[in-house]
Amino acid sequence: MKLIENPKKEQWVDILRRPTKTVDDIESIVNTVFSDVKANGDKAVGQYTFKFDKVELDTLTVSEDEIIEASNNVSNELKDAIRLAKLNIEKFHTAQKTDRVYLETMNGVECWQEKRPIQKVGLYIPSGTAPLFSTVLMLAVPAKIAGCKEIVLCSPPNSEGKIANEILYTAQLCGVTKLIKVGGIQAIAGLTFGTESIPQVYKIFGPGNQYVTVAKQLATKYGVAIDMPAGPSELLVMADESANPTYIASDLLSQAEHGSDSQVILVTTSKSFAERVSTEVNEQLEVLPRKDIARDAIANSKSIIVNDFKIALELIDEYGPEHFIVSTNYNDFFAENIGNAGSVFIGDYTPESAGDYASGTNHTLPTNGFSKAYSGVNLDSFQKSMTFQKISKKGIVTIGPAIELMAEAEGLHAHKNAVTLRLKDLKNK
């Protein structure tokens, strides 16, 4: 990890830049795939699956027999772990339910708000070098709690044309209604337009590589909502001399192994601590099965030394990390004042891995600085807030004159007339 001491504020933008390609580098291929899938449906999806995933599929849809076979191939120990995680995720997301908001704003004018589920949702589950069955839990569980009617899951097939056993087992456990063995840009395009095999959805969820991220952003141009722009994973750790360098190194590597384009950053007030963490990173890295991937990510990562916590907080807020671990002798300062982070992990015994799997919080989080404006996935992500109003005769008489005056002032006389006609009728009765 590159060591940077007390950088000037004007250097922060360059120091904190993510190692990602620009949209311009990717958008051309995404547009091409979208246009092809829109025009040619399953045929185009199959061609791009063969091109990108090197597998030819007879059918895009996962069969019931495949789900049963996959479930039989998952160990009972792992099934127990998945069920435990599911239970915690259900508890935390069920607790996010809110009651109807009702108010009589004035006599005879009733207003209320209710939550309604998004009827059709698409879940994108990355596979590739790591089949992220945990993401199925993070997306399907709140979708089910919210009451979504159609839950369509897309995930890239392996070289045998199959989705990972763990993904299929978790999907059926969580109530996914349709499983599609398609990944990448073509999966997002299929969910956007609908094909013979892939249902069109109203909102697409899930993380992915930079191509998937741009594809999701393009989907919004066609009227399909997305959870957030979620690209390569990232972690920022704030630690001081009171932290355990072995733990911190393990946390940094846990994110680095996601992908070569992942980024991890250590911010600390101690140069000697940063050096100890760096030594630990190098030692732990050598025994990791995914060390080549993690090594690439570490090459893009940095240790930043700052003078005090106040400067550290300002720098962290400027970065807006997806995951933020704080392990200092004053954790409350950061927990109470952090403004931009997808999810916060506090203290020596709260590894980011806990949130990735089983603590109950959601791991689908905004990356690339989008935590400055976006929330991570939660129950509300799968719902819409609808407002209602009901006005009585007495209510329209009370509020009507104000509406007439405002409509006339804006030059919208039909608006005014819609009230005036009612008021005249009531006056003549």
pLDDT by residue (tens digit) across 368-427? 999 999 999 999 999 999 999 999 999 999 999 999 999 999 999 999 999 999 999 999
Are 35 and 136 within one domain?
Answer: yes
Average pLDDT, rounded, for the chain: 95
124 annotated binding-site participant = yes
280 annotated binding-site participant = no
Are 13 and 38 within one domain?
Answer: no
In a domain, 48, yes or no: yes
Are 236 and 222 within one domain?
Answer: no
Confidence of residue 22 (pLDDT cuts 50, 70, 90): low
258 annotated binding-site participant = yes
- Residue ending a domain, among 229, 252, 277, is 229
Task: Specify the pLDDT at position 25.
Answer: 74
186 annotated binding-site participant = yes
Active site annotation includes 323: yes
233 annotated binding-site participant = yes
Task: Specify the pLDDT at position 261.
Answer: 86
Q: What is d(CA 137, CA 142) in angstroms, rounded to the nearest whole number? A: 8
Asked if pLDDT for residue 188 goes beyond 80, the answer is yes
Are 287 and 407 within one domain?
Answer: no
- Residue ending a domain, among 172, 198, 229, is 229
Confidence of residue 51 (pLDDT cuts 50, 70, 90): very high
Are 184 and 255 within one domain?
Answer: no
In a domain, 388, yes or no: no
Confidence of residue 1 (pLDDT cuts 50, 70, 90): confident
Per the structure, the count of domains in the chain is 3
Task: Specify the pLDDT at position 131.
Answer: 86
Task: Over range 158-165, report the average pLDDT.
Answer: 94
In a domain, 383, yes or no: no
CB 90 within 8 A of CB 138: no
| pLDDT tens column, 69-84 | 999 999 999 999 999 9
Query: Which two three-digit tokens encode residue 70?
Result: 């996959």
Sign of CA dihedral 419, 422, 426, 429: positive
Exactly one of 166, 257, 280, 322 is catalytic; name it.
322
Are 244 and 328 within one domain?
Answer: yes
Asked if pLDDT for residue 229 goes beyond 90, the answer is no
Are 199 and 224 within one domain?
Answer: yes
- Residue ending a domain, among 184, 204, 229, is 229
93 annotated binding-site participant = no
Task: Specify the pLDDT at position 48.
Answer: 97
Are 260 and 349 within one domain?
Answer: yes
More confidently predicted of 231 and 206: 206
Task: Specify the pLDDT at position 23.
Answer: 67
Are 319 and 172 within one domain?
Answer: no
- Nearest Cα to Cα of residue 142 among 109, 174, 112: 174
Strand order in the sheet with 323-327: 2-5, 302-305, 263-268, 234-239, 323-327, 343-346
Active site annotation includes 363: no
CATH of the domain at 105: 3.40.50.1980
CB 191 within 8 A of CB 220: no
Exactly one of 93, 323, 352, 363 is catalytic; name it.
323
Task: Specify the pLDDT at position 164.
Answer: 95
| pLDDT tens column, 241-277 | 999 999 999 999 999 998 888 999 999 999 999 999 9
In a domain, 384, yes or no: no
Sign of CA dihedral 280, 281, 284, 287: negative
119 annotated binding-site participant = no
CB 235 within 8 A of CB 321: yes
In a domain, 178, yes or no: yes
In a domain, 88, yes or no: yes
Query: Which two three-digit tokens encode residue 378?
Result: 């939660």
In a domain, 405, yes or no: yes
Q: What is the DSSP string of 1-47?
A: -EEEES--GGGHHHHT--S---HHHHHHHHHHHHHHHHHHTHHHHHH
Whole domain around residue 51: which residue ranges? Answer: 23-229
Are 210 and 165 within one domain?
Answer: yes
Lowest-pLDDT range of 16-20, 97-101, 130-134, 328-332: 16-20
In a domain, 45, yes or no: yes
- Nearest Cα to Cα of residue 321 among 381, 372, 254, 249: 372
Q: What is d(CA 70, CA 27) in angstroms, rounded to the nearest whole number? A: 36
Task: Specify the pLDDT at position 21.
Answer: 61
Are 186 and 254 within one domain?
Answer: no
Q: What is d(CA 379, CA 137) in angstroms, rounded to the nearest whole number? A: 13
Task: Over range 167-190, report the average pLDDT.
Answer: 98
Are 208 and 297 within one domain?
Answer: no
| pLDDT tens column, 87-125 | 999 999 999 999 999 999 999 999 999 999 999 999 999
